[in-house]
Amino acid sequence: MCGNSKGTLARFGLFLGMVASVTLLVAFVSNSWLTTKEPVLLPNSRISTTIQFRIGLWEVCPLVKKVNSTIHVPRPSCAAIKYEGWRDITHTDLGLWTPLELGPAFITRMR
């Protein structure tokens, strides 16, 4: 019985290693593997909206959800994630007009 459990444990370890390798490969190849939302105030108004982030290992794409079509909202473009140095990522690195709490902090920790 002891010999059989070692073989089962070895096969299970091999299976988990293959799953981890495939997951890592998908994270390297795909451009977006995580989506988050964060509430913000629109510039020069009291209207609240959300910014949705599509986060990959190499770039971040913020998308502002418009509440009203008459309000002009600056449309941020995708930004590359900088891996040099240990400086925290800020909202200006992502091309956003307002400070955020969750998005930049998560991207900084992800690096």
Q: Where are the domains of the chain?
A: 1-29, 34-110
For each of the chain's 111 residues, which pLDDT tens digit applies? 455 678 889 999 999 999 999 988 887 787 777 888 888 877 666 777 788 888 888 888 888 876 666 666 667 888 888 888 778 888 888 888 778 888 888 888 877
Distances (CA, A) of 21 to 17, 34, 91, 110: 6, 18, 32, 18
Q: What is the pTM of this model?
A: 0.65
- Looking at residue 11, its pLDDT comes to 92
- Looking at residue 3, its pLDDT comes to 55
66 close to 75: Cβ distance less than 8 angstroms:
no
The one-letter amino acid code at 27 reads A
Return the residue matching tokens 């451009």: 31
- Looking at residue 1, its pLDDT comes to 46
